Amino acid sequence: MNKYIFYFLSIVFLACSGPTGIIISEEDKATFEKNYKAFEKHHIGGIVSGDLDLFLELYSDTLKWSGPNTYDGSFQTKDDLATAAKRYLEIFENFSFESGGVNSVNDGGFWGGNLYSDNGEINTEPNGLRIYGIWNATHIESGAPVKLKFYAIQQFNEAGKVVLLNEWFDPSSMENQIQAFVENN
């Protein structure tokens, strides 16, 4: 009887272990790390330090940007991204970024590739980066602290520049936080 239980448990374990044969090269791991560290250095670092040039160094001149208020499938340019970032830097200060928020223990803010998808494809591509986190800042005029849930997908080219940026967040949530702060202070 113990032998059958062992066989049954072995089959269950093997069936639940996920896809096999996935090979992630050291080169892909290094590329993924280089990409998310570039996001930390340029995107986060540029905003936190108020250095728009540092922020923009990450992005290709041919960038296609789909900002949080774009719903029609169109893309904006690097210049449009620069204008939006400049506006945030004029309105807010004391920026910080907490990566993570994907799960209850807040571990892992940078993800690449995929193990599961609705089309059944498995991908170990290190140049597609998903970013999760929370932006923190202070509204300059009112002194209101704001938090903003942030999700982005960046596609890097071989030169290490972002050629496609999709961002999801709710800008109106910042307005709501500022209004609540002003009403209560």
Distance CA 94, CA 69 (A): 24
pLDDT exceeds 90 at position 20: no
Asked if CATH classification 3.10.450.50 holds for the domain at 24-184, the reply, yes or no, is yes
What is the mean predicted confidence (pLDDT) over 101-106? 64
Q: Domain coordinates of the chain in residue numbers?
A: 24-184
pLDDT exceeds 50 at position 17: no
Q: Where residue 42 falls among pLDDT bands split at 50, 70, 90?
A: very high
What is the mean predicted confidence (pLDDT) over 88-104? 88
pTM of the model: 0.82
Pairing, β 59-66 against β 162-168? parallel
pLDDT digit string, tens, across residues 121-132: 777 788 889 999
pLDDT digit string, tens, across residues 106-122: 667 878 877 777 887 77
Q: Report the range of poorest mean pLDDT among 74-83, 117-126, 163-172.
A: 117-126
